[in-house]
Structure 1
């Protein structure tokens, strides 16, 4: 077997959309991007959607939009990909890391304890597609004592008059919270359309706005679209139409727009996401769960509850009783059998950049505990039943080898202790 970890889903509909873009002779931001934004609006039920060239760009965009600057603080989980904190650093602000819960999501109580008068935003991360407890987070930021701490330093901050709640939904397009798309439960939700995501544009992302009524969503959309094009009041498509060449730069923006050639890939995928791609992911997750649940070492990932449902971006298997080193050996053994796996994620305090900034993994015990025994298994629509069965059998075999080593070590220790007792 040769089973890759997460190849992109490319079928004839994707090829057709890309060819259509090429044949139309317009490959940068244009009608395909607009169509993808509309499709994301439909699937999320949010008020406006702005496509960008990456999740990271989208996060920087929205933090800058809110006026986050040097000296400000943004609360993030310690257990996430580095981009969550890097976006904060790119704005000159300080990422304040807090620990997570057993289900990988940010701990609302730790968030509450970390809030200061410098806190401007919270970025909650939906690991593996599992939504955070957004009602609990909203209760935190709406607490009168917390609201009194909030200091407004920009026009947008004054309009919101509280901490901004952002969902890092890089993993979670299609996830459900309280019977609605999870994106409806935050002020801002940011998706990633990177090559390994449930929906991909090769590189890209989307910002979804779900702001309170005091915000004019249409006006914010117009402003943010300009922001993605250097603060320019006219995009390339508009400029290309004859006499419409003249433009102006209204403010210092960014250059982070998504091109049509990328949007075409995502456009084809999103139109069959709920009907085809997402159900196939769910079926694979169900098969994994049913196959592993009889194993004593199996720690089930959060998949579905009365309040939440994952979009099955990952199957983050955790193995009870494995050390970090043994987990790594299982991954190597699976690779030797032809099964590519991954780990999501190395907690940020373990990375050189953040260690050098003073963050210590010892301060985030649950983040380390989740990480040390986690193995992300392949889960994507193209997997065949024989491949799924091979993955399951391989995992059980490789894990058992490591657990057997633990038993042998225990037996050896018992014998040695008995010998010491007899000798004494």
Structure 2
């Protein structure tokens, strides 16, 4: 498969190995939950340095399962960053609890541990850290805060599978880590997600929750009897999706390596370019680069970003913006009373953010085309 004329910001990689894996699963006699699900769970958990994996039908479902595992209740508060996709906070609201937004570090746009500490109240139950763009958060600092206050620590690793911090793998840095297998992510099952953990009780609760609240522990040998223990959801994933996931997982290391090569090319070219800056990096982190994000500099950044964004789109680059800060969405303003000024660092950063194409199928000439188009945009676009 060649790179298309228009370069998207992300794109899945599918080859004959993947097609065969899916075809074999489709003809095996299993379509829904079957042996490939457990095999995929074990493989991802092993790769993550975790004891257990629970596969579900989306990253959002994985987040929801984790909040159930933590026994989140109405009236509880969970601290989340604003610079993320809405699902990272929505999963708290699903449980009737309250997301509390803690601002981000201005260099990395990762949740700022100092801001987390400021937001803790007697109602705080936990912290959800988001590995924005693919870089692991400062989990050592977050763990100290969580342990000090008796909080759970969840890692939204939907951007960071294959990354690490201080030599420790993403998946082993928090109480539960959540992955997404959407097509623009590092590997795909079409739609899908997973939660990984070392905690056997969290694992048990998530398995019940993804299957309507039904546990196999109560099935009788009659073959028909079952009991619903709690109100759960149908978050199951199919066997053929997990077959695709297993095939994709075998190539994850090379794909992450290629993303790092592309990022290094961008870094080199943009280091000497006025008018923008890449995001900062933690020295201890090995970035997985789901996204490569630039931040435009100077005055009238919001207008400049719109003009540059439009120019890049018009010249064949499928750029994106990640993200509108969650607390600025109408639902959060109306439901939780959030407002402009609540997280000034995230709000200021948002005005200048653009995500550039980043996926393993990009050739070096594609990367340089992106670089040259960005340079042209900064030269040719004028903002009053």
In the alignment, the residues of structure 1 paired with residue 169 and residue 32 of structure 2 have an alpha-carbon distance, to the nearest angstrom, of 30
For 2:294, the equivalent position in structure 1 comes to 317
Secondary structure of residue in 2 paired with 1:185:
coil
In the alignment, the residues of structure 1 paired with residue 70 and residue 46 of structure 2 have an alpha-carbon distance, to the nearest angstrom, of 25
Deviation at 1:266, TM superposition (A): 1.6
TM-score computed with the length of structure 1 as normaliser: 0.84
Q: Contact (CA 8 Å) 1:99, 1:110: kept in 2 or not?
A: yes
Secondary structure of residue in 2 paired with 1:363:
coil
TM-score computed with the length of structure 2 as normaliser: 0.93
Deviation at 1:287, TM superposition (A): 0.8
1:188 aligns with 2:166: no
In the alignment, the residues of structure 2 paired with residue 268 and residue 284 of structure 1 have an alpha-carbon distance, to the nearest angstrom, of 23
Secondary structure of residue in 2 paired with 1:231:
coil
Find the structure with the greater CA-based Rg. 1
1:15 aligns with 2:19: yes
For 1:267, the equivalent position in structure 2 comes to 246
Task: State how many pairs are aligned.
Answer: 376
For 2:104, the equivalent position in structure 1 comes to 100
Over the aligned positions, Cα root-mean-square deviation in angstroms equals 2.0
Query: Residues 202-351 of structure 1: matches in 2 within 5 Å?
Result: 202-211=190-199, 217=200, 220-234=202-216, 244-274=223-253, 276-303=254-281, 305-321=282-298, 323-351=301-329
In the alignment, the residues of structure 2 paired with residue 244 and residue 388 of structure 1 have an alpha-carbon distance, to the nearest angstrom, of 57
1:400 aligns with 2:379: yes
Q: Contact (CA 8 Å) 1:54, 1:193: kept in 2 or not?
A: yes
Gaps of 5+ in 2: none
Query: Residues 371-382 of structure 1: matches in 2 within 5 Å?
Result: 371-382=350-361
Deviation at 1:118, TM superposition (A): 0.6
In the alignment, the residues of structure 1 paired with residue 326 and residue 225 of structure 2 have an alpha-carbon distance, to the nearest angstrom, of 46
Deviation at 1:271, TM superposition (A): 0.9
1:367 aligns with 2:328: no
Tell me whether 243-252 or 98-107 shows the greater mean CA deviation: 243-252
In the alignment, the residues of structure 2 paired with residue 223 and residue 348 of structure 1 have an alpha-carbon distance, to the nearest angstrom, of 28
In the alignment, the residues of structure 1 paired with residue 223 and residue 20 of structure 2 have an alpha-carbon distance, to the nearest angstrom, of 31
For 2:121, the equivalent position in structure 1 comes to 116
Residues 386-409 of structure 1: CA deviation (Å, up to 9, x unaligned): 22111110011112223xx36xx6
Deviation at 1:356, TM superposition (A): 2.2
1:27 aligns with 2:6: no
Secondary structure of residue in 2 paired with 1:383:
coil
Q: Contact (CA 8 Å) 2:68, 2:209: kept in 1 or not?
A: no
For 2:60, the equivalent position in structure 1 comes to 56
In the alignment, the residues of structure 2 paired with residue 369 and residue 187 of structure 1 have an alpha-carbon distance, to the nearest angstrom, of 31
Gaps of 5+ in 1: 148-161, 212-216, 410-424
